[in-house]
Amino acid sequence: MSTRLGSFTISPVSASQSSHLRALESESIHIVREAVAESENPVLLFSGGKDSALVLRLAIKAFWPARLPFPVMHVDTGHNFDEVLEFRDRIVTELEADLIVASVQEAIDQGRVVEETGPRASRNRLQTETLLNAIDKHRFDVVFGGARRDEEKARAKERVFSFRDEFGQWDPKSQRPELWSLYNGRHRKGEHMRVFPISNWTEMDVWQYIEDQGIELPSVYFSHRRRVFERDGMLMAESPYLNLIDGEEVFEAIVRFRTVGDMTCTGGFESTASSVGEIIEEVAVTRITERGASRADDRTAEAAMEDRKREGYF
């Protein structure tokens, strides 16, 4: 029973794996299995970021030696890091998983959503509509996401099995009580559940597990030389999707990205951390949350995340 899936191999259980990671892993695997056992048409949101790579790994573990029993879906704003797209396609091929791409560009072209204009235009909000359309079109009833409660204060209040009404909306005030490990995924046709298997993981847990398990990540997470410009205290990657505003200048720097999302709202910072071990050291001493440091979309207002989540965002 030692054969692995494709070339998606992992190092054997290391003696270093601490019991808290085992406990978290076990909880997550339980959640994934419950959701799949009680749904008809699940899907896993996969952006190529570290959290979705982790959820994907946990889902693989949950059903091994069977193949992943559901597809993965990328809500693609069209503003991707090349390295992340390359990573996404390679991992999906290795796992023999089905990939669905829900394209924001397509939604714009079809006139279903209207693109923001101006130098600070972002497709962040357009993702919600694209995601909800895809859920509707494919009739998904469980949508796995990689959100964590330590990321953001609205998320800290969200259930592991989070109900969405027929409009895809989240109502934070009428959430279902969630006790023990008894999850209630019951819903009517047209409604769906968002399921967050790594709700109880912290950023540090994620990195420790990635190191422990040797999980591969896109190269933008690690220190590299890149042409960037400074905006709102973050280093934005030079790209065709971002126009410079007066006074902004492109320069070369040694940077890495702490989260990976749409290029127009994901900022990097100067770092020499080039391995997971070095990133863990960096995370251990950092004094800024990952969203505060790298997501322009979360800086808009105190309740920015809650408002977007209510509309159906990830």
| Amino acid of residue 156 | A
Task: Give the residue from 85, 96, 16, 25 showing the smallest Cα distance to 59.
Answer: 25
What are the residues facing 270 on neighbouring strands? 255
- Minimum distance from residue 307 beta carbon to other proteins (Å): 8
Kindly tell me the burial class for residue 148, based on how many C-beta atoms sit within 10 Å of its own C-beta (0-12, 13-18, 19 or more): buried
Q: Which is nearer to other proteins, 10 or 273 (CB)?
A: 10
Strand pairing category for 161-164 and 268-270: unpaired
What is the DSSP annotation of 75-134? Answer: EE-S---HHHHHHHHHHHHHTT--EEEEEHHHHHHTTSS----STT--STTHHHHHHHHH
Q: Which is nearer to other proteins, 33 or 231 (CB)?
A: 33
Residue 70 backbone dihedrals phi, psi, to 5 degrees: -155, 160
- Minimum distance from residue 106 beta carbon to other proteins (Å): 33
- Minimum distance from residue 131 beta carbon to other proteins (Å): 22
Neighbours of 256 (CB within 10 A): 22
- Minimum distance from residue 183 beta carbon to other proteins (Å): 8
- Minimum distance from residue 246 beta carbon to other proteins (Å): 27
Q: Which is nearer to other proteins, 87 or 163 (CB)?
A: 163
Residues that bind other proteins (CB under 8 A): 1-3, 10, 12-13, 18-20, 22-27, 29-30, 33-34, 36-37, 60-67, 149-150, 152-157, 163, 172-182, 184, 186-188, 199-200, 202, 204-205, 286-289, 292-293, 302-303, 306-307
Q: Which is nearer to other proteins, 87 or 161 (CB)?
A: 161
Task: Give the residue from 130, 138, 87 showing the smallest Cα distance to 105.
Answer: 130
Q: Which is nearer to other proteins, 119 or 214 (CB)?
A: 214
- Minimum distance from residue 216 beta carbon to other proteins (Å): 16
Q: Which is nearer to other proteins, 135 or 193 (CB)?
A: 193
